[in-house]
Structure 1
Amino acid sequence: MRRRLRLLLAATAVAALPLGTAAAEPAAVRVIAQNLAYTWGVGFLPDGSALVTERNSARVLSIKGTAVSTAATIPGVRPGGEGGLLGIAVSPNYASDGWIFVYYTSASDNRIARFKLGQAPQPIVTGIPKANIHNGGRLAFGPDGHLYAGTGDAANTANSQNPNSLGGKILRMTLDGKPAPGNPSGTLVYTLGHRNVQGLAWDSRGRMFASELGQNRQDELNQIVAGSNYGWPTCEGRCNDTRFRNPLLTWTTAEASPSGIAVYNNNVYVTALRGQRLWKVPLTDSGVGNPTALYQGTYGRLRDAAVAPDRTLWVLTSNGPSGVAGGDKVLSTDG
């Protein structure tokens, strides 16, 4: 299904940035799958097919072309509030090891497990704090071949600055869940001082970016540097405290409430939940340029973005089965 959609001009909350720039009409959007419920994350297999998680059903869906089936149902998932079956990542060595990684909420914690299709998952990281809100959940493999995870503070702000807590952090690990070589403190913790990280991506230069949900004022797009402290709960958005690293870009929570992100054609695409739009943020040598808003209100809440093997941009919605006509959808665009 193809539709032509207008590009809408939007403003950001960063005083140093002007209003969002105008751009040509974006490419047509294709509906890959619909009538889903609370899609959360997507990963791709070497054959080009996709694996998509549903938060509440604990299902991992297989999408081949436009055919949708259940590839796995993860046992032990306890959905509730923002928790459930969340992120997914496919091993960069999948052709030889067959590993798929998922992040999910259990009865006692958030955890990361790995599994092979047709086999039971094996937890590799446990003890990530859980709550009804702020469970984080994004998984992504970096260009270094290590697995990264974004976690939330689990509604306890003290977790974010506590180096012994896995909450409010970005974690970096080996494929068996051990601290990756070179981690700043020798633990799983790669960066700290986060509120709720739900987007992770890298550009062609190896720069790492993460989206973070703010509380009442400012959501963030950050450049991630090993060992850095991003300030929560002392700072929401930018602040004049040299202990903390400031974000590249902020929005009001009404404009964004960001989740998954993807780097595509030298732009960071940031999905917005409350903002119900897709932010296109140009990358520059020194950081980012002026953002523009795409598809504002057209598809409701947007949860994840990812670059598919065919070099199209996939976007997942998060409205629930009755939130919009056709339920939740997997969309594809040429950007």
Structure 2
Amino acid sequence: MTRSGLTSLVPSLVLVLGVTTACSDPAPAPIPSTTQPTDPTSQPTPSESPSESPSDSGANGDDAKGPEAVGTLVDRLEVPWGVDFLPDGAAVVTERMTGRVLRVEPGGTLSRLGAITTSVPQGEAGLLGVAVSPDFDTDRTLFLYLTTSSDNRVVRAELDGDRLGEPTVVLDGIPAGFIHDGGRIAFGPDGHLYVTTGETGDPELAQDPDSLAGKILRITVDGDPAPGNPDPGSPVWSLGHRNVQGLAWDDEGRLWASEFGDSTWDELNLVEKGGNYGWPEVEGTGGGSDFIDPQLVWPVEDASPSGLAYADGHLWMAGLRGQRLWRIRVSAKGRATRPTAFFTEDYGRLRTVVTTPDDQLWLTTSNQDGRGEPAQGDDRIVVIQP
């Protein structure tokens, strides 16, 4: 189904705007309630074990049943990028272009918490990821990743009621560029903050252990290298990345990352401590003993992956250029198999997918980023029942 056919489908959820400049705009465009999967047989899976049977999978439920779109929760956003949930079930959402930090209720009410005025939007840069402190009930702290005029950095800011306080720097000096700025941040099961960075269009930085570019970093809430890092004095957890924008942990605590390829293969990687994922020496598989091969690869026109989430025994990967949501089965042995595409071209470019506290998915579009074709109501958050 194409995006032009949306108006004949089911109505969206009611949107109640708390603070917005677009409250008089038309109602959000409706979205489909069901979708047909794209046949995944054409997708290359070079590292999938051919001997693995369905009985080996750790997935719950029937793979034959596809996800369903429930409704448009919020629309008329400006490039929503980061999403994370507060203990009360509301979400914090960042907008890359405006620097706004928003609160979105499960029912769709939208309010403004504040703005990060030091963020500098350009190209792929600006206000990017957000992570809610694991101790939010006591410290009321949000962590944010942004581009300034001189670097990329992680900051933290406290919420005083529903007002965002002044941010303070946690980690700075991450190389910034017009492209490939990484930007996804998330707290792992170990309580430490994981930060993805891009190589800013300078591929050699990804292999430089002294550069913070082209890496996955692991730090404490104070910005120090986390205990147990490969090099105790460095925040680097893994290297050889081109531009990771998706992080997710499965039920076994394994870390997965979605990564933009160059001109041939996008990647899904199972991230190991100290692992080297090959860029720019290798794109896709074939790294030999020096590099870790991806678990799955896709032609770049089918993915260009950004957000990554885990729910119901599957990884869910949002595609920008691919304009589709990929469901990927994760076996009990930690193998990624059976990639299947849904919602192909229904919503245009898809930036972020997150699992909600009630086990639904929120999916954000990215059609106002200068590379998409915005429809009426873009950008939006769509609710998906996996």
Q: TM-score range by the shorter chain?
A: over 0.9
Relative to its length, the structure with more strand (as a share) is 1
1:3 equivalent to 2:33? Answer: yes
Which string of whole-angstrom CA distances, capped at 9 and with x for unpartnered residues, describes residues 11-61 of structure 1?
31334669xx98334223321100111111101111111111110000011
Match among 141, 160, 163 for residue 187 of structure 2: 141
Deviates more, 1:308-317 or 1:191-200: 308-317
Q: How far has the Cα of 1:311 moved from its partner?
A: 1.6
Q: What is the CA RMSD across the aligned residues, in angstroms? A: 1.6
Structure showing greater Rg? 2
Structure 2's unaligned 5+ residue stretches are 1-11, 13-31, 51-61
Equivalence for 1:86: 128
1:331 equivalent to 2:385? Answer: no
Q: Aligned to 1:159, what secondary structure does the other structure show?
A: helix
| Matches for 1:39-188 after TM superposition, within 5 Å | 39-64=80-105, 65-117=107-159, 118-186=164-232, 187-188=234-235
Q: Work out whether residues 47 and 294 of structure 2, in 8 Å CA contact, stay in contact via their aligned partners in 1.
A: no
Query: Percent of aligned positions with the same letter in both sequences?
Result: 45
Relative to its length, the structure with more helix (as a share) is 2
Distance, in Å, in 2 between the alignment partners of 1:80 and 1:201 is 27
Distance, in Å, in 1 between the alignment partners of 2:94 and 2:165 is 17
Equivalence for 2:364: 316
Distance, in Å, in 2 between the alignment partners of 1:307 and 1:3 is 18
Distance, in Å, in 2 between the alignment partners of 1:222 and 1:110 is 23
Which string of whole-angstrom CA distances, capped at 9 and with x for unpartnered residues, describes residues 204-257 of structure 1?
101110000000000000000000100000010001421100000000100000
Which string of whole-angstrom CA distances, capped at 9 and with x for unpartnered residues, describes residues 99-134 of structure 1?
100000000010000001231011111111111100
TM-score, normalising length: structure 1: 0.96
Distance, in Å, in 1 between the alignment partners of 2:134 and 2:108 is 24
Equivalence for 1:12: 43
Equivalence for 2:336: 288
Q: Aligned to 1:306, what secondary structure does the other structure show?
A: strand
Equivalence for 2:274: 227
Q: Work out whether residues 128 and 146 of structure 2, in 8 Å CA contact, stay in contact via their aligned partners in 1.
A: yes
Q: Work out whether residues 7 and 24 of structure 1, in 8 Å CA contact, stay in contact via their aligned partners in 2.
A: no
Match among 306, 330, 347 for residue 259 of structure 1: 306
Q: For 1:133, give the aligned amino acid.
A: I
Call closer, same or farther: CA 1:22–1:202 in 2, change over 3 Å.
closer
